[in-house]
């Protein structure tokens, strides 16, 4: 006789437990089918601008050795200090989900000797980035950036070209009221002088600073200028201004950047407090905002894009000195604005679509083959094979905005014909199946 197995209370309770309906991780959202048109548009615009300005695509892994960012972006930056997703692999490697794309590209530049592809080398990328931030409108833990980098030249014309390309990218995405805020944060010669001046200025005011700023005063005093805390923001009003302290070379470089921008009519605003949160920048730094909104209030106070020159990043990650400049656009913020001011186009694909309507089982079976013939010929076919009612299928054809409905029933099966119905006018005719591809191609061409 088999021994009787009795279940413990815990086992019984577990059996009763309902399966969990899982949720997405906080701050990481799904991009649903009805939003994809925005993303398709963005990808098209990014590719177009990259082609016009002659940038080549690069894709780096989503995971990197965490040290790439610790060394490159800076251990005292918010990104590394607070926002990186870092984990240990089973093999013991410390990897990070990339919080940004510039340091990995510099890593790849040396690892793959990318200098052989040209000087300067112009690269672009598009993909997800990850930062452990408190999610809110315009701030996510997984977000997408398109980035543009020019590596191998310190000429001010490239700073201007990066700003111009990103500005055009946003314009082509139909973002209104763009403003470029720009500053120069100097170089190894003038920045230490400025650091000392800032430290002197804040020394007597230290107790009025927030905790983060008090900590930063020693190792990263420039960051005090972009602290959002009310008390710190008020204090910075009297702080020394970087532009007054720039060395001759940095001053000349910045002047040229501004001249090049004026040449192409890109409007800019000098912002003495703009320092950016990443440690690798020197000289030009900038951010692009949209002041578009209602009743004088912009929808977004966050930057849509940010970037600058980073001539020292290569050395920070162990390479030889190499000058570079770049920027990245954050697409979640752009999509939110696009939704507010761009009407989604009745997509070309939609009005070019054919909807297949079947009546009866035999028509459904034969129709399966006909649809495949059409698709192989490059015709976009939609259908609802799970529904048998003619009315329900026609309603769906209408809802989907199909240009043409194909109606295929018992009679048509035996006559090797099919009914072609123009969904706009309602006119319909029976045509031989053998001519269907040709007829549809002609009709669809004229229906756009």
Residues making contact with ligand HAM (CB under 6 A):
100-102, 131, 133, 139-140, 143, 145, 147, 149, 303-308, 310, 326-328, 330, 332-333
Is 271 or 422 the residue whose CB approaches ligand HAM more closely? 271
d(CA 251, CA 264): 21
Cβ 276 to ligand HAM, closest distance in Å? Answer: 7
Nearer to ligand HAM, 148 or 202 (CB): 148
Q: Return the residue matching tokens 């200025």.
A: 201
Output the smallest distance, CB 329 to ligand HAM, in A: 6
**Minimum CB–partner distance for residue 277 and ligand HAM (Å):** 6
Least distance to ligand HAM, CB of residue 119, Å: 18
Q: How far is the CB of 404 from ligand HAM (least distance, A)?
A: 41
Residue (143 or 254) nearer to ligand HAM, CB? 143
Between 98 and 421, CB nearer to ligand HAM: 98
Q: Distance between the two ends of the chain, CA-based, in angstroms?
A: 78
Using the minimum distance from each CB to ligand HAM, give the nearer residue, 310 or 355.
Answer: 310
Q: How many CB atoms lie within 10 A of CB 66?
A: 19
What DSSP assignment string belongs to 267-331?
A: -EEE-TT---S-TT-EEEEEEEEE--EETTEES--S-SEEEEE-TTHHHHTT-----EEEEEEEH
Nearest to 271 by CA among 198, 184, 186, 183: 183
Toward ligand HAM, which CB reaches closer, 131 or 223?
131
Smallest gap from residue 224 Cβ to ligand HAM (A): 18
Residue with smaller CB distance to ligand HAM, 145 or 417: 145
Cβ atoms of residues 198 and 221 within 8 Å: yes
- Smallest separation, CB 139 to ligand HAM (Å): 4
Closest CB to ligand HAM among residues 102, 323: 102
- Closest residue to bound ligand HAM by CB: 330
CA-nearest of 307, 257, 247, 252 to 277 is 307
Instruction: Mention every residue, 6+ apart, whose C-beta is less than 8 A from residue 365.
Output: none
Nearest to 148 by CA among 171, 120, 173: 120
H or E segment and range at residue 442: helix 436-447
* 100 C-beta neighbours (distance < 10 Å), count: 22
Residue 284 or 352 with smaller CB distance to ligand HAM: 284
Phi, psi angle pair for 442, to nearest 5°: -65, -45
Asked if 317 and 107 touch (Cβ cutoff 8 Å), the reply is yes
In angstroms, give the least distance from the CB of 44 to ligand HAM: 19
Nearest Cα neighbor of 140 from 66, 179, 83 is: 83
Q: Choose between 53 and 310: whose C-beta lies nearer to ligand HAM.
A: 310
Q: Which is nearer to ligand HAM, 168 or 205 (CB)?
A: 168
Degrees to nearest 5, angle at CA 360 with 356 and 363? 55
* Spatial distance between the Cα atoms of 402 and 381, rounded to a whole number of angstroms: 9
Q: Residue 416: which region, alpha, beta or left (left: phi > 0; alpha: psi -120 to 50)?
A: left
Before 120, cis peptide (omega within 30)?
yes
In whole angstroms, the minimum distance from the beta carbon of 431 to ligand HAM comes to 52
Q: How far is the CB of 281 from ligand HAM (least distance, A)?
A: 7
Q: Which residues contact 405 (CB under 8 A, 6 or more apart)?
A: 354, 355, 356, 357, 394, 397, 420, 421, 423
Question: Minimal distance in Å, beta carbon 88 to ligand HAM?
Answer: 24
């Amino acid at each position: 006789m088999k021994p009787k197995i009795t279940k413990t209370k815990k086992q019984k309770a577990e059996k009763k437990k309902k399966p969990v309906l899982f949720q997405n991780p906080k701050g990481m959202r799904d991009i649903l089918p009805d939003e994809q048109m925005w993303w398709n548009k963005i990808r098209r615009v990014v590719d177009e601008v990259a082609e016009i300005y002659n940038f080549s695509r690069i894709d780096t892994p989503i995971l990197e050795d965490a040290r790439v960012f610790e060394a490159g972006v800076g251990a005292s930056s918010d990104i590394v200090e607070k926002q990186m997703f870092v984990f240990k692999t089973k093999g013991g490697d410390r990897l990070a989900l990339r919080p940004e794309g510039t340091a990995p590209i510099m890593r790849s530049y040396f690892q793959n000797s990318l200098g052989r592809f040209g000087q300067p080398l112009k690269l672009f990328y598009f993909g997800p980035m990850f930062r452990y931030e408190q999610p809110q409108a315009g701030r996510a833990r997984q977000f997408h950036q398109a980035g543009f980098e020019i590596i191998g030249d310190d000429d001010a014309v490239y700073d201007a070209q990066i700003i111009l390309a990103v500005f055009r990218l946003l314009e082509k995405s139909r973002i209104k009221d763009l403003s470029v805020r720009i500053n120069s944060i100097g170089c190894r010669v003038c920045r230490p002088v400025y650091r000392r001046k800032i430290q002197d200025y804040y020394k007597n005011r230290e107790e009025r600073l927030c905790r983060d700023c008090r900590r930063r005063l020693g190792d990263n005093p420039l960051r005090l200028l972009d602290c959002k805390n009310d008390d710190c923001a008020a204090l910075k009003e009297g702080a020394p201004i970087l532009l007054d302290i720039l060395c001759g070379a940095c001053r000349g470089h910045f002047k040229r950047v501004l001249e090049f921008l004026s040449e192409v009519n890109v409007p800019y605003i000098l912002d003495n407090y703009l320092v950016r949160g990443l440690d690798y920048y020197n000289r030009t730094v900038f951010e692009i905002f949209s002041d578009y909104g209602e009743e004088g209030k912009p929808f977004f106070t966050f930057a849509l894009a940010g970037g600058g020159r980073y001539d020292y990043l290569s050395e920070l990650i162990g390479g030889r000195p190499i000058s570079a400049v770049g920027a990245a656009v954050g697409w979640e913020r752009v999509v939110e604005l696009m939704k507010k001011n761009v009407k989604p186009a009745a997509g070309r694909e939609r009005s070019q679509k054919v909807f297949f309507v079947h009546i009866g089982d035999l028509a459904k079976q034969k129709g399966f083959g006909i649809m495949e013939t059409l698709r192989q010929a490059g015709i976009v076919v939609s259908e609802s094979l799970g529904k048998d009612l003619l009315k329900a299928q026609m309603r769906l054809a209408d809802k989907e905005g199909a240009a043409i409905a194909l109606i295929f029933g018992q009679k048509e099966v035996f006559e090797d014909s099919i009914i072609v119905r123009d969904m706009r006018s309602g006119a319909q005719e029976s045509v031989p199946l053998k001519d269907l591809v040709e007829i549809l191609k002609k009709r669809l061409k004229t229906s756009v």
